[in-house]
């Protein structure tokens, strides 16, 4: 999928969509919400802003509609989760 296609796919959801942000591959998942539309950064990377993070994140690290349970070893209990 191209960067433009990733942005279009992310933007098919409204700002405020509940997502899980994965800082690393399926570790320390953080339940949060999008706070911007996705866009292409100056480096050509598809990114989006999410609540609780100080900068934008790569859309490939954002999962929409995740059902990550709180007892999952991938759940980051130290993060202030915004839903679920």
Report the CATH number at residue 7: 2.30.30
- In the chain, the number of structural domains is 1
Band of residue 12 on the pLDDT scale cut at 50, 70, 90 = very high
The string of pLDDT tens digits covering residues 19-57 is 888 887 656 778 889 999 999 999 999 999 999 889 999
Q: What is the pTM of this model?
A: 0.79
DSSP string, 6-53: HHHHHTTS-TT-EEEE-SBTTBSBEEEEB-S--EE-TTS-EEEEBTT-
What does the pLDDT read at residue 63?
86
Report whether pLDDT(78) > 70: no
pLDDT of residue 65: 72
pLDDT attached to residue 50 = 95
What residue numbers bound the domain in which 14 lies? 3-64
Residue 48 lies in a domain: yes
């Amino acid at each position: 999928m191209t960067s433009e296609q990733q942005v279009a796919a992310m933007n098919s959801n409204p700002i405020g969509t509940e997502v899980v942000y994965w800082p690393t591959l399926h570790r320390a998942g953080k339940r949060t919400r999008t706070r911007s539309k996705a866009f292409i950064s100056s480096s050509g990377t598809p990114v989006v802003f999410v609540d609780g993070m100080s900068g934008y994140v790569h859309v490939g690290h954002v999962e929409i509609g995740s059902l990550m349970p709180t007892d999952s070893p991938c759940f980051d209990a130290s993060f202030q989760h915004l839903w679920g």
